[in-house]
């Protein structure tokens, strides 16, 4: 006979794709029975129509086959009761009040607001690839697409799933190990967004307080270009965030990019650094063709250092890459698909600097266990 404990041990390796925790830990394993040569297991999904149901069922069957290969396996999918769902939400919140900001002043998550002075500089492509590169290092990463009007992160990461609603809690889709939320996940087809200030603030606030992020090492926020309402709102909601400014080498772009970083300084964020994108096009003979000039990244870093009163680093220069464009269009990050590409190597180098950045713990309340 197969005991419930042995089945639970076998299923401890099955991770819920949305919550990123073992289904045994989430109390998703219901009745276990053994009749003759068949093991029957009930799996309780969080909600009816759960988009991850097929994957969960396949992973459960695979885990059972590996543990009890000689027995037949029956997997029955049901749905949690309201009481069971509430118990799950309480477990996920872990003592935190519902609808509270998990990224307040005492948060140990490293938060980066990635912005640019104007559109078209490749900010979203860089943000998506940086998030995936950090996740590939085994870090827990979240990504907020805060570009409400020009959202593109779902396409960059090939996300077609909608977020799952667990009553008033939103479970974000996970792509390449990154938890992702975007207004594009809530719209039909390519419907435009025509909102003003209060609605924009409400949307980005919901991305933080209504979404279940879990314990993250990093939260990257893809800001809209410019210095509007969303940048100001996020600066207020994320007091410990650091600003990263993306520019091109062009002098005109550098002038505009400086304003993006200065807004962060006005709302209390420090400047982590500057990324110069489209720095050059490498020729077949190894020469570099500087299509957009040179020096823009260094100029922005110098100006922001003067405003901040402390050094600002150019985190890296990313060359023009056809492969980066192709992978972005296909929803497959270049850092995974073609890590040998020159742009991918530059992005991976920048991700290393993110990973090496540390939060100052002075004055913070730490979660200690005894």
Domain hosting 162: range is 110-356
Domain boundary among 58, 93, 128: 93
Q: Label residue 253 by pLDDT band (50, 70, 90).
A: confident
Asked if residue 367 belongs to a domain, the reply is: no
User: Residue 143: which of 186, 188, 174, 184 has the closest Cα?
Assistant: 174
User: Do 241 and 271 belong together in one domain?
Assistant: yes
Q: Give the global pTM.
A: 0.89
Three-class DSSP category at 93 = helix
Q: Label residue 175 by pLDDT band (50, 70, 90).
A: very high
Q: What's the pLDDT score for residue 370?
A: 44
User: Do 179 and 65 belong together in one domain?
Assistant: no
The phi and psi torsions of 297 (rounded to 5 degrees) equal -65, -45
Residue 250 has pLDDT above 70, yes or no: yes
Domain boundary among 93, 119, 140: 93
Residue 204 has pLDDT above 90, yes or no: no
Asked if residue 352 belongs to a domain, the reply is: yes
Residue 197 has pLDDT above 80, yes or no: no
Model pLDDT for residues 206-223, shown as the tens digit of each residue: 999 999 999 999 999 999
Q: Please name every residue paired with 275 in a beta bridge, in sequence order, or none if there are none.
A: 246, 316
User: Do 166 and 73 belong together in one domain?
Assistant: no
Write the DSSP string, 2-24.
--HHHHHHHHTTPBPTTT-SBTT
Model pLDDT for residues 280-290, shown as the tens digit of each residue: 999 989 899 99
User: Do 84 and 144 belong together in one domain?
Assistant: no
How many residues make up the chain in this entry? 370
Asked if residue 275 belongs to a domain, the reply is: yes
Model pLDDT for residues 137-174, shown as the tens digit of each residue: 999 999 999 988 888 999 999 999 889 988 889 999 99
Asked if residue 230 belongs to a domain, the reply is: yes
CATH number for the domain that contains residue 63? 3.30.300.130
Q: What's the pLDDT score for residue 78?
A: 96
Q: What's the pLDDT score for residue 288?
A: 93
Query: Highest mean pLDDT: which of 105-119, 230-244, 343-357?
Result: 343-357
**Which tokens hold the place of 248?**
């091109």
User: Do 40 and 143 belong together in one domain?
Assistant: no
User: Do 42 and 177 belong together in one domain?
Assistant: no
Residue 368 has pLDDT above 70, yes or no: no
DSSP 146: -
Model pLDDT for residues 11-40, shown as the tens digit of each residue: 999 999 989 999 999 999 999 988 667 889
Q: Label residue 176 by pLDDT band (50, 70, 90).
A: very high
Q: Label residue 1 by pLDDT band (50, 70, 90).
A: low
The phi and psi torsions of 106 (rounded to 5 degrees) equal -95, 5
Asked if residue 98 belongs to a domain, the reply is: no
User: Do 31 and 142 belong together in one domain?
Assistant: no
Its sign, for the CA torsion 323, 328, 330, 332, is: positive
Asked if residue 363 belongs to a domain, the reply is: no
Asked if residue 222 belongs to a domain, the reply is: yes
Residue 311 has pLDDT above 60, yes or no: yes
Q: How far apart are CA 53 and CA 47, in angstroms?
A: 10
User: Do 120 and 223 belong together in one domain?
Assistant: yes
Write the DSSP string, 182-242.
EGGGGSSTT------HHHHHHHHHHHHHTB---S-SEEEEEPPSSSSHHHHHHHHH-TT-E
Q: What's the pLDDT score for residue 361?
A: 54
User: Residue 157: which of 166, 148, 139, 145 has the closest Cα?
Assistant: 145
Asked if residue 99 belongs to a domain, the reply is: no
Contact criterion met (CB below 8 Å) for 277 and 146: no
Q: What's the pLDDT score for residue 360?
A: 64
User: Do 125 and 226 belong together in one domain?
Assistant: yes
User: Do 30 and 175 belong together in one domain?
Assistant: no
Q: What's the pLDDT score for residue 139?
A: 97
User: Do 82 and 221 belong together in one domain?
Assistant: no
Cα angle at 285 between 282 and 288, to 5 degrees? 30
CATH number for the domain that contains residue 243? 3.40.50.300
Model pLDDT for residues 63-85, shown as the tens digit of each residue: 999 988 877 888 999 999 999 99
Model pLDDT for residues 107-137, shown as the tens digit of each residue: 999 999 999 878 889 999 999 999 999 999 9
**Which tokens hold the place of 277?**
């994108």
Mean pLDDT in residue range 343-357: 97
Its sign, for the CA torsion 38, 44, 47, 48, is: positive
Mean pLDDT for all residues in the chain: 89
Cα angle at 16 between 165 and 86, to 5 degrees? 45
**Which tokens hold the place of 135?**
């996740």
Domain boundary among 93, 119, 146: 93
User: Residue 223: which of 158, 145, 291 has the closest Cα?
Assistant: 145
**Which tokens hold the place of 149?**
């009007």
Q: What's the pLDDT score for residue 244?
A: 95
Mean pLDDT in residue range 257-283: 87
User: Do 211 and 326 belong together in one domain?
Assistant: yes
**Domain count of the fold of the chain:** 2
Contact criterion met (CB below 8 Å) for 169 and 19: no
Q: What's the pLDDT score for residue 364?
A: 53
């Amino acid at each position: 006979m197969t005991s419930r404990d042995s089945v639970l041990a076998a299923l401890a390796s099955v991770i819920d794709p949305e919550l990123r925790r073992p289904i045994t830990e989430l109390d998703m394993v219901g009745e276990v029975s053994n009749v003759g040569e068949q093991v029957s297991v009930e799996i309780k999904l969080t909600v009816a129509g759960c988009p991850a149901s097929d994957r969960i069922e396949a992973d459960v069957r695979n885990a059972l086959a590996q543990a009890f290969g000689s027995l037949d396996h029956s997997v029955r999918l049901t749905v949690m009761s309201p009481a069971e769902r509430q118990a799950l939400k309480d477990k996920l919140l872990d003592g935190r009040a519902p609808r509270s900001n998990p990224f307040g002043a005492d948060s140990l998550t490293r938060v980066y607001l990635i912005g640019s002075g104007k559109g078209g500089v490749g900010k979203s492509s860089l943000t998506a690839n940086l998030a995936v590169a950090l996740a590939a290092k085994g870090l827990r990463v979240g990504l907020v697409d805060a570009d409400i009007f020009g959202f593109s992160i779902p396409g960059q990461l090939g996300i077609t799933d909608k977020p799952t609603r667990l009553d008033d809690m939103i479970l974000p889709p996970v792509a390449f190990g990154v938890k992702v939320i975007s207004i594009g996940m809530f719209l039909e087809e390519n419907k435009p967004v025509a909102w003003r200030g209060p609605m924009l603030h409400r949307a980005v606030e919901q991305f933080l307080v209504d979404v279940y992020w879990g314990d993250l090492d990093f939260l990257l926020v893809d800001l809209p270009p410019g210095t509007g309402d969303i940048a100001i709102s996020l600066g207020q909601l994320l007091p410990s965030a650091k600003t990263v400014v993306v520019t091109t080498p062009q002098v005109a772009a550098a002038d505009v990019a400086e304003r993006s970083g200065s807004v962060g300084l006005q709302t209390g964020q420090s400047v982590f650094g500057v990324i110069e994108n489209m720095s050059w096009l490498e020729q077949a003979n190894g020469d570099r063709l500087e299509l957009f000039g040179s020096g823009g990244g260094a100029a922005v870093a110098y100006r922001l250092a003067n405003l901040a009163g402390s050094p600002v680093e150019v985190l890296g220069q990313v060359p023009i890459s056809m492969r980066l464009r192709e992978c972005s269009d296909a929803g497959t990050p270049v850092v995974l698909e073609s890590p040998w590409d020159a742009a991918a190597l530059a992005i991976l180098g920048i991700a290393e600097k993110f990973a090496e950045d540390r939060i100052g713990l002075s004055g913070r309340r730490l979660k200690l266990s005894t």
